[in-house]
Structure 1
Amino acid sequence: MKDNFLRWKATYDAQKERNYSFMTVSSVPIDPLYAPGHMAEINYEEDLGNPGVYPYTRGVRPNMYRGRLWTMRQFAGFATAKESNERYKFLLEQGQTGLSVAFDMPTIMGYDSDHPRAFGEVGRVGVAIDSLADMEILFKDIPLDKVSTSMTINAPASIVWSMYIVAAEKQGVPAHKLTGTIQNDILKEYIAQKSWIFPPEPSLRLITDIFGFAKEHVPKWNTISISGYHIREAGATALQELAFTLADGFAYVEAGIKAGLDVDDFAPRLSFFFNSHTDFFEEIAKYRAARRIWARHMKEKYGAKKEESLLLRFHTQTAGCSLTGQQPENNIVRTAYQAMAAVMGGTQSLHTNSMDEVLALPTQKSVQIALRTQQILAYETGVVNTIDPLAGSYFVETLTNQMEEGAEEYFRKIDELGGVLEAIRKNFFQQEIADAAYRYQQEIESKDRIIVGVNEFINEGKAEIDLLKIDPEVERAQVRGLQALKQSRDNLRVQTTLEGLKQAALETDNLVPKILDAVRAYATEGEMIAVLKDVFGEYREQAVF
């Protein structure tokens, strides 16, 4: 076999390759052919296993999509809670199987809509949520015991999650029936997305408080979505996304154990959120490696006993950073390939980006096309008919092994720096991502990397496409509603609950019950955040020049 390969290689080398850089999206060189000699010998049981069997390389469920399709969960939210509610109902009518809430920047940063720093941003990139009143409107006539909801919120996650729990109470739905996910991943904010409020230590306290409260009261809820998506969007390679995300995951496990929780009490509700970029095979290898690494570390390092603690379950979103403002219709094609990679990699949940998201929040038409992309994938392409169809491919297995080896090398570097928090303080992650993003941009500018419609196959003139526009009246109406709420509520009760929250923050009690008290009194997000800032302070990133 080796002689045959060498003879082929000699023949190949005598041929002329076209002038092109054969590499992955992450700039990893790709050989012209992969054969048995590329891989170390694979022990099927130890390295792959069957689907639903340790180490879960081939999938977390024995029957995967032959049993149940992934959740089609389109990320949506804009303007007011009423308008977003109407979009959610439209998506559910079109066949979406789960909700995913996008919040505006003031909400993400912990500011009420009437705060000076919120001016001009209310309802722009997501829905404005100031209080329980907005959350009630957001999910009006949507039965929360029947719909799974994901909420992309991090620093104020405990507050927004509490609003959701109380909104369900108002519907008559007890917390133990709720299903969904709160992103709640503050470490990737320090690394990549930069939407932090508090310093790392109190932020981790809030997260482990959610772990503990959910175990007792909201047992079906995924308490965190450990996110590589935003790390990748910031410019990371596939390997960096994989390694940094799992390193964050291990840091949360260690924080939970340090807080006195048994690993098997909270690890089964940890979930992940990955990017699906354009390099089809690299992405599939990333997901397969992620499952194997997580299972091995949870079992061998953290001593998890429950099978559910070993399962890396993940949501995927197609790569927003791959979309182009030039020839935006091409983004439909990019998204379809990225979605297929996610499915062939074994995702449990998927969002497909709309073609116009690089230019504005998506229109109803473009959202429908994005959802139909998933439905065509599920019902017409045949990719759901068998599990992990690329297993055994010399190329895919080689990439999977390389991903695992590269991630383990990153873990060693992070440990040498003193762990994830120290690596953040020393700007290790930030520098790695910046270097990767710079290299990628250089490749585009030199045309070593072709982006269709951007640096090759260019059309002259501006793309003509309908865009969603947010009326400035949205902000004024939101502020008026907030001011009316503050006048009509029981402000003595609000003040009492805020004082209770502050006292709990000064002590060691779980903060979630006190947050729930304040939410039920219609205290606003901004008021609760202000109380916690008084106790915890605010984070300031160390500048690097």
Structure 2
Amino acid sequence: MNQTVSPDRLPQDLAERLRAEEKDWENSEVARFLAKQKERKEAFFTLGDIPVKRTYTAADIAQTPIEDIGLPGRYPFTRGPYPTMYRSRNWTMRQIAGFGTGEDTNKRFKYLIAQGQTGISTDFDMPTLMGYDSDHPMSEGEVGREGVAIDTLEDMEALFDGIDLEKISVSMTINPSAWILLAMYIVLAEKRGYDLNKLSGTIQADILKEFMAQKEYIFPADPSVRIVRDCITYCAKNMKRYNPINISGYHISEAGSSPLHEAAFTLANLVVYVEEVLKTGMDVDEFAPRLAFFFVCQADFFEEVAKFRALRRCYAKIMKDRFGAKNPESMRLRFHCQTAAASLTKPQYMVNVVRTSMQALAAVLGGAQSLHTNGYDEAFAIPTEDAMRMALRTQQVIAEETNVTQVVDPLGGSYYVESLTNEYETRIFDILDEVDERGGTLKLIQEGWFQRQIADFAYETALRKQSGEKPVIGVNCLVDDVPDPKIETHPYDQSTAERQVNRTQRVRRERDPVKFDLLMEKLVSVAKDPSQNIMPITIELVRAGATMGDIIERLKTVWGTYRETPVF
């Protein structure tokens, strides 16, 4: 996507003078200093393997159109999606929680809210993520272990008991079965008498990154994308403040990708979803304002800030130039951020507090709308209350004590940050062009192209850690013989499965079997007709006592299941 040349750039004669001055500096001061003391490495790179110069000047951004940097809240939103950013309100502090039953996680939610958390984020156990009820043989040993178990509407009611869903936004981290959780959330809201247009939050629902990276999928790609389409169109018409998808680069990164691939692959997935919704006849400006994103913040401080700035710029140009969006809200990328779980270590585990603090600060300086900071004990297990309180306090210190929130995009204008932002934009569009030339995202997923890119970078990173080229404090450098303090990890309640299974089986016994059977037949009919939206029948089913597993197992008979072709 070549951009038109703008006259609002650094004058050519000044740029040349700056380059000449830099060359003279290299040949004099730098050369004399290097003769006395060599640099630590022959060449420097970002974590994502982008070369880094010794210093940057205005000449490095001489070709940048002034309008590409712009002002916060104005196209292309490089400097932030809103004009006043944190001067008006801080980012949403959204610590993720999920374990045991709905009642168990509800207590953690209320604890975090009492500690000053301003949004809710929900982690689900593996059976829920994969669409199995808690009494399914595949669920044995996993119920409520790595997240909360949700099988029925009653579980959802327990999860959010005593929490006003019109006053706090709720994020649900779930993908292949996301639309069923959304249906339960809708029925719960209706039972409480809420206005659906006042609900805020998101379901993740980004199934394509599952095929690329996290591998939590059920159905083949076509019906999976159809479900995402149906969530987006349903929410656009019925839930004006709700984000029907969190297009996620986080899990791409956690699978081992470079920061560049995290950014570019996420936007490649965006293109598929937008194209699918447009096929229904809906105008882009009807749904695009509620699209949301989820990214990681890794260890390379300035690279992450530049990544977020470039993502906003690229998204704005894609929505305007490729899809014809006219409403600025459709071009404004908003994102939740999580510090990098993959960077946490068991040895010297309290160092994780420092890692998380640096990553959180980069996320804030990069303009995040919502943030989860990892607990220092997450390399061991689900975080304890103490670890979550420390993680939340990390955000609160940044917000209340550092004054970084006083200026919008305070790193804007840094020659290095602006140059790296430009580099990211160029490389992101190069990858998107390659994806188009090779036949598109869905074709390349089937061929394993994305998977290979991620695996290759992950392997290279592992080798660098093994050799010490990539330092990890306490693991491959600065290792000592001082034992770490004994850590108290989050315990698993052995009664969880029994309590959860009892409720699920009771719901099945008490529902109207005739009504249930009729609705399941209707589900099959809707599933076979891609022109229909699957959300309304799913809402009817969960209201009638259908479990998540009931719905998933029936749809497997229509759509089948997905099996990945291994990548070597």
Q: TM-score, normalised by structure 2?
A: 0.94
- 1:293-372 equivalences under 5 Å are 293-372=314-393
Instruction: Work out the CA distance in 2 between the residues paired with 1:394 and 1:516.
Output: 52
Displacement of 1:360 after TM fit? 0.2
Residue from 226, 230, 236 that aligns with 1:205: 226
3-state SS of paired residue (2:474): coil
Instruction: Work out the CA distance in 1 between the residues paired with 2:320 and 2:39.
Output: 47
Q: Which amino acid aligns with 1:512?
A: M
**Pair 1:267-2:273 in alignment:** no
Displacement of 1:28 after TM fit? 2.5
Alignment match, 1:284:
305
Alignment match, 1:186:
207
**Pair 1:469-2:480 in alignment:** no
Alignment match, 1:440:
461
Residue from 422, 429, 434 that aligns with 2:443: 422
3-state SS of paired residue (1:373): helix
Displacement of 1:23 after TM fit? 2.4
Q: Which amino acid aligns with 2:152?
A: S
Q: Which amino acid aligns with 2:50?
A: V
**Pair 1:12-2:34 in alignment:** no
Deviations 1:103-159, CA, capped at 9 Å, x for gaps: 000000000000011111110110000000100000001011111000011111110
**Pair 1:153-2:174 in alignment:** yes
Greater Cα offset, 110-119 or 214-223: 214-223
Instruction: Work out the CA distance in 1 between the residues paired with 2:392 and 2:313.
Output: 30
Displacement of 1:176 after TM fit? 2.0
Count of aligned positions: 544
Contact 2:206 2:245 in 1 (8 A): yes
Alignment match, 2:525:
503
Residue from 73, 95, 99 that aligns with 1:74: 95
**Pair 1:374-2:395 in alignment:** yes
Q: Which amino acid aligns with 2:546?
A: A
3-state SS of paired residue (1:384): helix
Instruction: Work out the CA distance in 1 between the residues paired with 2:288 and 2:21.
Output: 48
Moved over 6 A (4+): none
Contact 2:452 2:567 in 1 (8 A): no
Instruction: Work out the CA distance in 2 between the residues paired with 1:38 and 1:17.
Output: 25
Displacement of 1:174 after TM fit? 2.8
**Pair 1:238-2:256 in alignment:** no
Alignment match, 1:518:
541
Residue from 15, 19, 30 that aligns with 1:2: 19
Deviations 1:357-377, CA, capped at 9 Å, x for gaps: 111000000000000000000
Contact 1:328 1:463 in 2 (8 A): no
Q: Structure 1 unaligned runs (5+)?
A: none
Alignment match, 2:507:
485
Deviations 1:42-72, CA, capped at 9 Å, x for gaps: 2212x11111111110011011110111000
Instruction: Work out the CA distance in 2 between the residues paired with 1:313 and 1:76.
Output: 22
Q: Which amino acid aligns with 1:9?
A: E
- 1:162-173 equivalences under 5 Å are 162-173=183-194
Displacement of 1:89 after TM fit? 0.5
When residues 463 and 188 of structure 1 are mapped into structure 2, their CA distance, relative to the original with a 3 A threshold, is: farther
Residue from 530, 538, 543 that aligns with 2:561: 538
Displacement of 1:462 after TM fit? 5.7
Contact 2:451 2:567 in 1 (8 A): no
Q: TM-score, normalised by structure 1?
A: 0.98
3-state SS of paired residue (2:45): coil
Displacement of 1:537 after TM fit? 1.1
Greater Cα offset, 2-11 or 315-324: 2-11
Instruction: Work out the CA distance in 2 between the residues paired with 1:43 and 1:62.
Output: 20
Contact 1:326 1:463 in 2 (8 A): no
Deviations 1:391-441, CA, capped at 9 Å, x for gaps: 111110111011011111111111121100011011111100111111111
Deviations 1:279-307, CA, capped at 9 Å, x for gaps: 11000000000010010111111101111
Displacement of 1:490 after TM fit? 2.1
Greater Cα offset, 268-277 or 501-510: 501-510
3-state SS of paired residue (2:46): coil
Displacement of 1:3 after TM fit? 3.4
Alignment match, 2:53:
31
Contact 1:490 1:521 in 2 (8 A): yes
Q: Which amino acid aligns with 1:446?
A: S
Deviations 1:213-260, CA, capped at 9 Å, x for gaps: 112211111011000000000111111111001111111111111232
Alignment match, 2:165:
144
Deviations 1:302-349, CA, capped at 9 Å, x for gaps: 101111110101100000111111111111110111011011011111
